[in-house]
Amino acid sequence: MVSIEREGTMSQQSGIVNVSSEDIEALRRDGAVPLRGVVGDDWLAVLADGIERDIENPGPWFHGYVPDNGLGRFHGNVRIWETDPELGRFCAEGPLPALAAQVFGSAKVNLFYDQLFVKEPGTENRTRWHNDLPYWPVRGSQILSFWVALDPVTLDSGALEFIRGSHLWNIWYQPETFGKTTGHGAYERNPDYVEIPDIEATRDDYEIITWDLEPGDVYAFHAMTVHGAGGNHRSDVRRRGYTIRYTGDDAVYDTRVGTNKNLRSDVHADGDLLDSDRFPVVIPR
């Protein structure tokens, strides 16, 4: 396992966070990169409040996972911004859309959707290894996630792990649920998708990369990068991760068999550009 230090590569001008060419290059090569100090304290407070609101009164797409050992809580939800204007403000007006535009080199950025992964202290549930794009009703080369850390994140609290370069494999793994959940049923089987091997049992066969994060740091990762996470084995730290997914110029709607029905749209047909209230254009503003 490799942990690569990338410190101090972000710069800020006029309130806009800039990503360095080294980090863009690392993301293109490895499929994931940590970006330090992206989300400032004011926005972190907005996110923390929004997360508590969703835990107390979950939005419509809530899917909690049953704790593996009966302890802790794994709270999941998608499309939270649609019913929480403050989180919507962050997704549209926070630092991330400009970062996505820089990474894509695109004129346009759409907000695809947002997702919560909160593992309370003592939650042993792993996040299974997977790549994201097979789950999503979208296709294109410019599709990116930013996983924002609300807490200090280490391997023992559930840091994300990525397989270096796996975004270039072009292997579409069959989506599976992340555990026993009341949120949604099994995913349809797509004959063109591949069953994911037991990566956890054969970890030494892969080049796994990971980084500790501080609150306000993010993992940026490609939609095809294979990734997963351990449980939160700490008793004293929460692991609140908030992921926002953005697309660039070339993304279009695409409902392949096996994609998550909760992420589909009532107003798009396959091949449509995403631009809409559902997938708003956030760059240009």
What does the binding site for ligand AKG look like in residue numbers (CB under 6 A)? 115, 117, 127, 132, 145, 147, 160, 227, 229, 241, 243
Nearer to ligand AKG, 130 or 268 (CB): 130
From CA 117, how far away is CA 145, in angstroms rounded? 13
Q: How far is the CB of 160 from ligand AKG (least distance, A)?
A: 6
**Residue 128 beta carbon to ligand AKG: minimum distance, rounded to whole angstroms:** 9
Looking at the Cβ atoms of 66 and 284, the one nearer to ligand AKG is: 66
Looking at the Cβ atoms of 129 and 253, the one nearer to ligand AKG is: 129
State the nearest-atom distance from the C-beta of 149 to ligand AKG, in Å.
Answer: 10
CB 109 within 8 A of CB 101: yes
DSSP state letters, 173-219: BPP--SSSBSS--PPPPPTTSBPPP-TGGGGGGS-EEE--B-TT-EE
The least CB distance from residue 261 to ligand AKG, in Å, is 18
Give the integer Cα–Cα distance in Å for 244 and 39.
13
Between 97 and 228, CB nearer to ligand AKG: 228
Pairwise CA distance, residues 18 & 15, whole Å: 9
**For residues 227 and 234, which CB has a smaller minimum distance to ligand AKG in the complex?**
227
Q: How far is CA 28 from the centre of its chain?
A: 17
Nearest Cα neighbor of 172 from 134, 123, 199, 217 is 134
Cα(211)–Cα(229) distance, rounded to whole angstroms?
Answer: 12
Nearest approach, Cβ of 78 to ligand AKG (angstroms)? Answer: 10
